[in-house]
Structure 1
């Protein structure tokens, strides 16, 4: 693992967490995670399934659906075509691990940052037949119920706290010791926005757990410099996608009750790329949908290229991809932060 940043005082961390939208909205998240509200009106199976030619992507898709608890199902029904995207990326990561040189019995690891009930990590562990093993953090304890219902404990673990509570010391404890050397892959599942806009601190915290040459993925809902453009993208998401799964009243309720808190922690694409470029040598934009973007970052350009070479086509209507012209490597002009002990 990389050298960790200076530890935060535990009391200060707890105070900061209590002020975050992640905990201020805890009651809403609990309601969603227990299926008490905002349950999708129909099956989540992709209506674009006929456009998926790769049987491995279809297998991953089916695993995601089968293992999804209420809150993750709500997420899949709220972010246009993230189901198809997670399946595409999961298959590419499996193929990357299969093609990587390794010792007999050696496995790879994924850290999911506040990723609901770990459905994606469990799907990756199952699809890769245990070649990739997962650890999921989530401060919503209701997510632990579907995790335990579906997880193979030999392949996937759950930590019922904020990702900020994950530490090198935690990964040395018996329950999590299999991840003591760090992670080959890290995936932030739209989590940072529920804390603060301080992407540098957030990225630095998870960066310490990434193995040299590892890949870190960031799925975020982003702000936009033009408020009218932000709202236009929101309108397309709500009216052309979410109405498949939620009533107009439910969509309006979420907009009024939750999105203001969420937007308080959102940053622009330029701000996110700037923060990532300060910690990583290479940053690529992989995917865009309404106000959401997915990026991958690493210090190993060859590993990113190997991953991109295994990545199948995007399955998504073009009308939802607003940053399509920027797909590929993104750069900023400022210097990268060099960390002590960084390889």
Structure 2
């Protein structure tokens, strides 16, 4: 059995559970950090199909206060949420067995709840958050069928806890897909132990999706992309004072827990045979990794092309971060 005691202690001391806790609590409750208007979706960037139409409609109704803050803070993150959600639904339909999805630390768990609701039994999902405000938002529309919520930080959700909790017993044999959405960077730069712990929950042929903000080897380039985000996008939803306030309260601490894309690739090589970069918006990237090339190809074939203007993209998409071979063509 692996020893995670030092890792657990590290997590308990993390900014997410200590100095940043008031920010996350207030934002999740809607007491602060709310955008001037709800985040809007640019449908011109996404393919029109029945899955997208249904996902957009349900997702818009289920968004909580933290979702509205988050999706207004990262350029075209809402479009990426819709792109990933639709790909998960289509991937689930292609499988013989229901998909088990773990959405790791994703605030109100809106995306996981939405795909479970639309999937009608094809997707059983589990979301988690240490904030009770996010739990309240998750249950604001009643107990959702096929969607579950764990109130606590991700490192409290051990395999033993899942096995010994009646409502979570269905997940005891692992997940087919895990999504980590800007969670690790709120704890530490220790990606090795973070992934080593969470991968216990992933089936051997499962898929791990990472949405993270990465450092750049060139500090000037990193800051230029941040200015593009703040003044080219966030200014649509927040005042200049709000943007500066978050920079002072959160981002300067979060930067210390980010890693470079190259460093992330080196860590992922220790766990996965294949990993692709499938989305990029300034300093933010989506990575999709697996030890099953077939499942990875199947999932990525359901993934529409990146849905954002080219000026925000600084990477070739899709591109292979680890391993060799031809990147799957994105769905059109």
Measured after TM superposition, the shift of residue 119 of structure 1 is 0.6
CA distance in 1, matches of 2:231, 2:125: 35
Measured after TM superposition, the shift of residue 82 of structure 1 is 1.3
Mean CA deviation greater in 50-59 or 200-209: 50-59
- TM-score (structure 1 length as normaliser): 0.89
Aligned position for 2:117: 126
Measured after TM superposition, the shift of residue 124 of structure 1 is 1.3
Q: Secondary structure of 2:289's match?
A: strand
The one of 172, 189, 193 aligned to 1:180 = 172
The one of 189, 202, 222 aligned to 2:214 = 222
Measured after TM superposition, the shift of residue 238 of structure 1 is 0.6
Question: Structure 1, residues 270-317: CA drift from partner, whole Å, max 9, x if none?
Answer: 011111111001101010001100000000011111111111122211
CA distance in 2, matches of 1:209, 1:143: 22
1:216-255 correspondence runs (5 A): 216-255=208-247
Aligned position for 2:275: 283
CA distance in 2, matches of 1:13, 1:312: 37
Question: Structure 1, residues 135-177: CA drift from partner, whole Å, max 9, x if none?
Answer: 1111122111101113544311111111111111111120211
Asked if structure 2 preserves the Cα contact closer than 8 Å seen for 1:44 and 1:65, the reply is: no
The one of 123, 131, 137 aligned to 1:146 = 137
2:290 aligned with 1:294, yes or no?
no
Aligned position for 1:8: 4
Aligned position for 2:65: 70
The one of 149, 167, 170 aligned to 1:158 = 149
Q: Secondary structure of 1:284's match?
A: strand
2:82 aligned with 1:87, yes or no?
yes
Aligned position for 2:328: none
Measured after TM superposition, the shift of residue 195 of structure 1 is 0.8
Change (3 A) 1:58 1:321: farther
Question: Structure 1, residues 72-104: CA drift from partner, whole Å, max 9, x if none?
Answer: 2111111111111111111112111111223xx
Measured after TM superposition, the shift of residue 332 of structure 1 is 6.7
Measured on the aligned residues, the alpha-carbon RMSD in Å equals 1.6
Asked if structure 2 preserves the Cα contact closer than 8 Å seen for 1:125 and 1:133, the reply is: yes
Asked if structure 2 preserves the Cα contact closer than 8 Å seen for 1:56 and 1:91, the reply is: yes
CA distance in 1, matches of 2:186, 2:177: 22
Q: Secondary structure of 1:149's match?
A: coil
Aligned position for 1:336: none
CA distance in 2, matches of 1:121, 1:198: 26
Q: Secondary structure of 1:150's match?
A: coil
The one of 99, 103, 123 aligned to 1:108 = 99
Asked if structure 1 preserves the Cα contact closer than 8 Å seen for 2:272 and 2:291, the reply is: yes
**Aligned residue-pair number:** 321
Aligned position for 1:329: 320
CA distance in 2, matches of 1:50, 1:154: 32
2:115 aligned with 1:96, yes or no?
no
- TM-score (structure 2 length as normaliser): 0.92
Q: Secondary structure of 2:140's match?
A: helix
Measured after TM superposition, the shift of residue 51 of structure 1 is 3.7
Q: Secondary structure of 2:272's match?
A: coil
CA distance in 1, matches of 2:312, 2:80: 13
The unaligned stretches of length 5 or more in structure 1 are 334-343
2:43 aligned with 1:49, yes or no?
yes
